[in-house]
Chain A
């Protein structure tokens, strides 16, 4: 009897997995290209042979579909990869001098290692006409030590402050975006705001875990102070007086019990945004969060959110702006199809109509500043209580200061600083001791 049940179970399992495979195929067949700019002729007239790209998403599929139609002699192979796989596989390809992709994406925070390490095609001449069209801060990640440019930023993550209007109103505070932007001009103002919210409502201001801190909030704070992990001459500034002050300022939120201990991208983190009983009041994060909040993080809270500028630092090079996330495109120096790769980049990212699609169809933030003034983006967003959000993102994007955080050793630096912050947050070390320990470790790693 048991054996029969086992066999039946196995057969059912097999049928179920087969059905899943077939249903997936049906989904694939339903792909309808997005209305991308039509190409009348192939941008590279004599293009032929194989061309490999590692670009994911419906919009890229649509661009590549159009490109393939215009260039019939070109055999385009496209398949998305995980970000971490792209790094490893491209490194192997660059070392081998062959293989990999002809047009590759990479997270902006990770591309510096390749920009400094070599193996990418210098496209300074090609991008020259577009330099002024893209915010100076966005070029940082793809600019090499010699000033040459090895890629183009393809989308950016301008940091803003999302907030719950209902919590602000409960705390007796104004909740319209203009007033909130004015009220939270600096991080010190933000601290005061959080104190008021806690006193008046008992609710936490934002999520910032102690034990699992990943230093992303700290890096955004550094960025808005115009600070980084090293200076323009390459000297480490991890434990500079200014950096210590910024960490102490972040520590004040913990000391006054104004933030939760929820780690990012965990269930309790999501619940803190979707909750009606115990929501957090604010979220300082990159603009791409506006895609996630209404779709799967907190869809039931439509109309309760607002967007304001992030707080600014204090000092010489301050701004109410920072970047978090975003990606870039590059062409490996060994690619057999550099002209095609550049033409596809130019068509998909640097062309005005297509750049606009990145915002309207994919929700991403294109790099061409001019796009943000397009009337097509003048649509009030019901999720944000009818707020017109695009001008705010443009304002942030155009004011991102150039800082030295995403350098060639960013992964290691972020890891060491994260541990330092965790030790500080647990009271094991003072801010100065934690950052000095981190700087010593980073310096040893860089030797």
Chain B
């Protein structure tokens, strides 16, 4: 260790406060040039594939451009267009996301919490295997899973074959508005449960066991412990999980593409809508404007959640 420290004298000498060095920022950068050199690839990539598209899409949102001819500056028209009948599809995608969000996010959060509490219990043996099994869908390709779900939920799919085996009527999973939404929610629920369970589990493991033991000695039952100790202490984690799930609900893309946009475009989320406008209709200006509206809605939603749910989170 001593040798390594010797080879990296700058790291020892690096200031631990934010006080500017006597030579100014350029001098400091020059001194740390190797560190900057090694982290540069990330920033260069971010600049090209992250920052530039963000800026360029803002620029595009004030232009009409189909990708072939010259760009035409049209001011706010791409935004005001959303107030015309042409914007109906975008607002429908927003409503779809709110509906989908309401359909699976509360259930997902609740079930994830319950599963995590069960897995965290000392009575559960083989905890790692269960955790792996529950987490596996999250790392499975959603596109592949979507096609499998399509086979399962098709008119003559396994689900309906199963129902018919018990003389029950088959369900038009993918050919009705609500059937398609339930199918998509099932797919997303299946896919996202593992991630949420792992997040909850990591939160649960930070709760000192003594608190539960003390409550139990004082006569609290498992349900009281869950509601009065676990949930209040898990509030920041639940908030994170909910925010993540809500943002994901608005950003559903591959699951929708794989399972289908649904009757009456019932499963089209803003992200799919923006993609369709950009790469189906080749209206890059309109797609960019919609992307910014989408961004504002997500930001607003997140702020609201932090305001109402996160008040006592810390």
Contact = CB atoms under 8 A, between A and B. Distances in A.
Interface of A: 84, 87-88, 91-92, 94-95, 113-114, 117-119, 209-212, 261-263, 266-268, 271, 409, 411-412, 415, 419, 422-423, 426, 437, 440-441, 443-445, 447
Contact of B175 (A114, A261, A415, A443): A261
B151 A263 contact: no
Contact of B156 (A209, A261, A268): A268
Interface string B149-177: 00100111100000000000000101111
Interface in B79-126: 81, 84-89
Interface stretch (B16-24, B34-42, B279-287): B279-287
B68 A94 contact: yes
A415 B280 contact: yes
Contacts of B208: none
A88 B67 CA distance: 9
9 contacts: A84-B279, A95-B68, A263-B175, A266-B155, A267-B155, A268-B154, A411-B280, A422-B264, A440-B85
Contacts of B177: 211
A224 B138 CA distance: 49
A114 B155 contact: no
A118 B280 contact: no
Given A422-B263, A423-B264, A267 B157 contact: yes
A262 B263 contact: no
A332 B176 CA distance: 43
Contact of A91 (B67, B88, B263, B265): B67
Contacts of B151: 267
Contacts of B283: 445
Given A113-B282, A415-B276, A211 B263 contact: yes
A367 B27 CA distance: 71
A267 to B, nearest CB: 5
B9 interface: no
B264 A267 contact: no
Given A84-B279, A268-B155, 12 more contacts: A113-B282, A118-B68, A210-B175, A211-B263, A211-B264, A263-B174, A267-B157, A409-B281, A412-B280, A426-B264, A441-B88, A444-B86
Contacts of A95: 67-68
B251 interface: no
A88 B86 CA distance: 23
B66 A117 contact: yes
Contacts of B280: 411-412, 415
Contacts of A266: 154-155
A7 to B, nearest CB: 16
B86 A211 contact: no
A116 to B, nearest CB: 9
By Cβ-Cβ distance, the 9 closest A-B pairs, closest first, are: A444-B86, A211-B263, A117-B68, A268-B155, A444-B84, A445-B86, A91-B67, A444-B85, A412-B281
Contact of B154 (A94, A209, A267): A267
Contacts of A437: 85
A258 B225 CA distance: 61
B157 to A, nearest CB: 7
Nearest to B179: A211
Interface in B24-78: 66-69
Contacts of A118: 68-69
A227 B68 CA distance: 29
A1 to B, nearest CB: 13
B236 interface: no
Interface in B261-296: 262-265, 276, 279-283
A266 B259 CA distance: 12
> What's the dominant secondary structure at chain B's contact region?
loop
Contacts of B155: 262, 266-268
A301 to B, nearest CB: 18
A89 to B, nearest CB: 11
Scoring B69, B86, B276, B280 by chain A CB atoms within 10 A of each residue's CB, the highest score goes to B86
A254 to B, nearest CB: 13
A409 B156 CA distance: 36
Contacts of B68: 91, 94-95, 113-114, 117-119
A246 to B, nearest CB: 21
A150 B267 CA distance: 38
B281 A271 contact: no
Contact of B263 (A119, A212, A441): A212
Nearest to A268: B155
A114 B66 CA distance: 10
B203 interface: no
A114 B282 CA distance: 11
Nearest to B155: A268
B310 interface: no
Contacts of B172: 211, 261
Contacts of B175: 209-212, 261, 263
B59 to A, nearest CB: 15
A318 B151 CA distance: 41
A119 to B, nearest CB: 5
Contacts of B263: 210-212, 422, 426
B264 A441 contact: no
B286 to A, nearest CB: 9
A412 B279 CA distance: 11
Contact of A88 (B66, B84, B262, B279): B279
A94 B260 CA distance: 31
A419 B265 contact: yes
Interface string B185-215: 0000000000000000000000000000000
A440 B89 CA distance: 13
A134 B110 CA distance: 64
Contacts of B88: 441
Nearest to A440: B85
A118 B65 CA distance: 13
Nearest to A119: B68
A210 B177 CA distance: 11
A419 B281 contact: no
Contacts of A91: 67-68, 282
Nearest to B129: A2
A423 B177 CA distance: 11
Contacts of A211: 172, 175-177, 263-264
